């Protein structure tokens, strides 16, 4: 027994040395050193990039008022907030100027080669200047269209949950709906779920700022009223009917659009078929005429 206890004690000491002390003095392998060097280089590169962005932002915040007016800053800032993009309006204006300058250089080269081509390239300068803003606006429109299509299903769940009982948290409803959500609505609900940690009222107000769609704004107003202790189930019912009507109108428009597309496709197919029949008939007529000659 004493021998066995001694062996167990020695084994415990060796296991302790192997697991705790040996890794401290163990030399790293070549592959581990290579990964460590790559990781350090990536961190330094990311840190330099972050420092450069911070310096650029500080410069733009100090002298950015020379680039755009307060109205333009508010308009571009609103678009960036709706996309939840961590950018300054001045950065977008710098992109516009950079694209316009590059297009101007291209137009100058084209003008040196051919005057007519140079005058035509001047249009590219205007288009390049407008492109960054146009791109952001298209992203905002696509996002709002996606949310408007998916929002009725989410609101139906919210209405039925709140119509059953007032003792319910909005975060629980969002968690129940998230597995069935997709697209932009899923992203917005995920952000809203994170913001709920700072309070439901804060999350609702932030959602209203990011997605200023008619039905989303009404939904936020109703939820803010409920947080103040008012039972506005009737208003929720009216909004549900309005959203259901909107959903039906959207489906009807989509159906009409598909029917119009199918009609155009059928018309094109009929024209192609007519051309094929006419060609086949003319070929047979010409063949018959050759036989009688």
Query: Residue 230 pLDDT > 80, yes or no?
Result: no
User: Domain boundary at 140, 166, 201, which?
Assistant: 140
Contact 104, 79 (CB under 8 A): no
Q: How confident is the model at residue 16 (pLDDT cuts 50, 70, 90)?
A: low
Domain for residue 50, yes or no?
Answer: no
- Both 171 and 122 in one domain: the answer is no
**Distance of alpha carbon 257 from alpha carbon 265, whole angstroms:** 12
- Domain of 168 in residue numbering reads as 143-254
pLDDT of residue 50: 75
pLDDT of residue 208: 86
Residue of 113 and 19 predicted with greater confidence: 113
Query: Residue 24 pLDDT > 60, yes or no?
Result: no
pLDDT of residue 289: 72
**3-class state of residue 166 by DSSP:** coil
- Both 190 and 133 in one domain: the answer is no
Domain for residue 171, yes or no?
Answer: yes
- Both 103 and 163 in one domain: the answer is no
Contact 217, 187 (CB under 8 A): no
Domain for residue 49, yes or no?
Answer: no
* Mean predicted confidence (pLDDT) in 64-70: 74
The structural domain count of the chain equals 2
Closest to 91 measured CA to CA, from 127, 63, 121 = 63
pLDDT of residue 26: 55
Domain for residue 117, yes or no?
Answer: yes
Cα torsion angle, 85, 91, 96, 100, sign:
negative
- Both 189 and 130 in one domain: the answer is no
* Mean predicted confidence (pLDDT) in 259-263: 83
Domain for residue 87, yes or no?
Answer: yes
- Both 208 and 117 in one domain: the answer is no
- Both 160 and 119 in one domain: the answer is no
pLDDT of residue 30: 65
* Mean predicted confidence (pLDDT) in 194-215: 86
Contact 76, 92 (CB under 8 A): yes
- Both 113 and 170 in one domain: the answer is no
Domain for residue 173, yes or no?
Answer: yes
- Both 206 and 129 in one domain: the answer is no
**Distance of alpha carbon 247 from alpha carbon 265, whole angstroms:** 27
Rounded to the nearest angstrom, the gap between the alpha carbon of residue 83 and the centroid of all alpha carbons in its chain is: 7
- Both 82 and 99 in one domain: the answer is yes
Domain for residue 116, yes or no?
Answer: yes
**Distance of alpha carbon 207 from alpha carbon 216, whole angstroms:** 8
- Both 97 and 154 in one domain: the answer is no
pTM: 0.64
Residue of 13 and 115 predicted with greater confidence: 115
Domain for residue 291, yes or no?
Answer: no
């Amino acid at each position: 027994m004493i021998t066995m206890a001694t062996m167990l004690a020695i084994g415990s000491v060796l296991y302790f040395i192997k697991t705790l002390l040996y890794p401290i003095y163990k030399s790293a392998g070549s592959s581990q050193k290579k990964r460590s060097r790559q990781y350090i280089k990536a961190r330094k590169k990311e840190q330099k990039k972050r420092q450069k962005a911070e310096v650029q932002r500080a410069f733009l915040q100090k002298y950015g008022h020379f680039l755009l007016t307060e109205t333009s800053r508010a308009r571009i800032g609103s678009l960036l907030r709706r996309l939840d993009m961590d950018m300054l309006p001045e950065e977008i204006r710098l992109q516009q100027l950079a694209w316009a300058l590059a297009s101007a250089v291209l137009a100058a080269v084209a003008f040196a080669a051919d005057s007519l081509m140079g005058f035509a390239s001047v249009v590219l300068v205007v288009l390049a200047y407008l492109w960054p803003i146009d791109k952001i606006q298209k992203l905002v429109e696509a996002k709002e269209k996606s949310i408007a299509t998916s929002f009725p299903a989410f609101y139906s769940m919210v209405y039925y949950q709140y119509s059953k009982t007032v003792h319910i948290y909005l975060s629980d409803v969002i968690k129940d709906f998230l597995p069935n959500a997709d697209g932009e609505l899923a992203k917005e609900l995920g952000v809203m779920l994170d913001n709920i940690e700072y309070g439901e009222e804060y999350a609702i107000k932030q959602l209203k700022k990011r997605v200023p769609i008619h039905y989303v704004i009404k939904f936020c107003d109703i939820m803010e009223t409920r947080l103040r202790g008012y039972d506005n189930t009737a208003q929720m019912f009216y909004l549900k009917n309005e959203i259901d009507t909107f959903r039906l109108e959207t489906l009807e428009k989509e159906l009409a659009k598909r029917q119009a597309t199918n009609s155009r496709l059928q018309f094109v197919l009929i024209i192609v078929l007519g051309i094929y029949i006419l060609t086949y008939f003319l070929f047979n007529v010409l063949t018959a005429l050759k036989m009688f000659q």
